[in-house]
Chain A
Amino acid sequence: MSAAFVIHPLDNVATLLGDAGDRVTLNDGREVRLAAAVAHGHKVALADIPVGAAVVKFGIPIGVATADIARGDWVHLHNVESRYDERSGGFDVVTGAAGDMRYD
């Protein structure tokens, strides 16, 4: 089983310290069952985060949920947007490549 790191008591996400399949153990001892596999360096929800609510890491909002997120879900480009970056929401969830630039 893989480990995940929660930085601040207010955080509703944790960062994975290795690839994980079905569950992770947090540095504070809690366990979280994963909805699907989550990769090293990516984030998992520690609580249900309704659409429009803040995703909190380091104790600060790092973005806003664009869909209802359940505890154990992978939290990334497909369900979070920046409050600043207007291109946020248009990036490929796997590669991170921007989809709004024309190449021909």
Chain B
Amino acid sequence: MTDAFARGWSGWLRADGRKGVRNIVLVIYTVQCAAHVAHAIAADEEDVQVIGFPGCYDNQYAIRLVLSLARHPNVGAVLSVGLGCEYTQPARIAEAVERSGRPADAFFIQDVGGTRSSTEKGKAAVRHLRDRVRAEVPRVPMGFADLTLGAECGGSDGTSGLVGNPVVGRLFDRVVDAGGSAICEEIVEMIGLRDIILARAADDRARAELEAAYAKAERYCRDVRQYSVSPGNFAGGLTTIEEKSMGAFAKSGSRPIQGVIKVGEAPPRPGMWVMDSVPDPHFMGFGYTNPNDTEGIMDLISGGSQVVLFVTGRGSVIGSPVAPLVKVTGNSRTYARMREDMDFDAGRVLAGELTLDACADELGTLVADVAAGVPSKPEALGHREYFVMYKHQDTPELDRGCRSAA
């Protein structure tokens, strides 16, 4: 282990034993009708962020996703705001959050009054919650063994598979070696790689999980006639989903894959994990596997990732709520053009300026800086894009045992 991965910093200890790198108050709206008020509550408030679900009808997948974000290690407290007509119940969310040892509050706008009175009530609530978590949540030493990192790629080009994803893969190897966890979720970007993925399985159980998840993803893509490759990928030099897949899979590194988790499920033990975000069969047939980059990043955060790496060859300006996003490009031209948004230029490896190992060390130092509180570029720019959609996934079987820290 190199020095970069022996670093320590201060985190926030949650009741379940997990540690956060931020201590935010999350405002959660339960229908689109409450979205404006939720954003007005959070506006100009330090350490207050927003997510929400747009639908009036409730959805078990969406509730599971929202609760996993509400009880994320980076979240200290929650305010849930509804309009009053919708199926999803803000008070039930607040109760579930309180059971995790976090303070929470909830109200319906229709019970309070209108836009202004609800905004005032919400601002008073989030300020009270913020005062409490700042005063009450213990600060504890934290290091890479306490981290779960997620990695997503988007806007991939010919450099992503050459260096952008491989440097994240090298970083993941080191995080796993340091006792931490890592998650990749884009199983639809493993199409064409069945045998290569199965060869990475840690044991027979992991192999069976990977085999089932891969078969489901391949069937799903065939049924909906949609593969996770886009015009921007083509313009950047990628020709087929198979080519993109091999580049994308490089971000999983080389360590054994411990198994497959579903959206909203945290790795039950440390190591490298694959997250299945593909819909399971349901009579309504709703859900889409990979509608945009933000959706995939939300999935990774739902798995407890305290920091998420986003690899983009062509460049992107998104960020994320709950967990800071660190943007890595393997394309030095993109870095030069979008420097205000890009955190890290891995293209220097292709230029021969440093080795992949040295690059992974440097990226590890950046991740530790962000974990220690230095804002990532999208975080500093105020990007907090989120996406919670209708989808169906069978409820995960949580029979792998508890996380060791819990």
Contacts and interface: CB of A to CB of B under 8 A. Distances in A.
Nearest to A78: B239
A96 to B, nearest CB: 3
Contacts of B242: 60-63, 82-84
A5 B159 CA distance: 10
Contact of B158 (A43, A81, A83, A85): A43
Interface residues of A, dominant DSSP: loop
B332 to A, nearest CB: 10
B176 to A, nearest CB: 22
A50 B191 CA distance: 24
Contacts of B234: 76-77, 91-92, 95-96
Interface string B300-343: 00000000000001000000000000000001010000000000
A40 B237 contact: yes
A63 B229 contact: no
Interface string B233-251: 1111111111100110000
B28 to A, nearest CB: 36
A96 B235 contact: yes
Interface residues of A, number: 36
B146 to A, nearest CB: 34
A80 B162 contact: no
B6 interface: no
B238 to A, nearest CB: 8
B218 A41 contact: no
A34 interface: no
A92 to B, nearest CB: 8
B231 interface: yes
Contacts of B227: 82, 84-85, 87
B193 to A, nearest CB: 7
Interface string B213-243: 0000010011001010111111111111111
A80 B351 CA distance: 28
B162 A15 contact: yes
A5 B243 CA distance: 15
B239 A80 contact: yes
B350 interface: yes
B231 A91 contact: yes
Contact of B240 (A7, A58, A63): A63
A62 B350 contact: no
B237 A15 contact: yes
A5 B238 CA distance: 14
A62 B158 contact: no
Contacts of B237: 15-16, 39-43, 76
B161 interface: yes
Interface in A71-103: 75-77, 80-88, 91-92, 94-98
B313 A62 contact: no
B8 interface: no
B158 A40 contact: yes
B295 interface: no
Interface in A1-48: 5, 7, 15-17, 39-43
Contacts of A5: 162, 350
Given A43-B158, A60-B193, A85 B235 contact: no
Contacts of A96: 230-235
B158 A63 contact: no
A57 B231 contact: no
B233 to A, nearest CB: 7
11 contacts: A5-B350, A17-B350, A41-B157, A60-B192, A62-B192, A76-B237, A82-B240, A84-B240, A85-B229, A95-B231, A96-B234
6 nearest A-B pairs in the assembled complex, by CB-CB distance: A96-B234, A41-B158, A41-B237, A96-B231, A62-B243, A82-B240
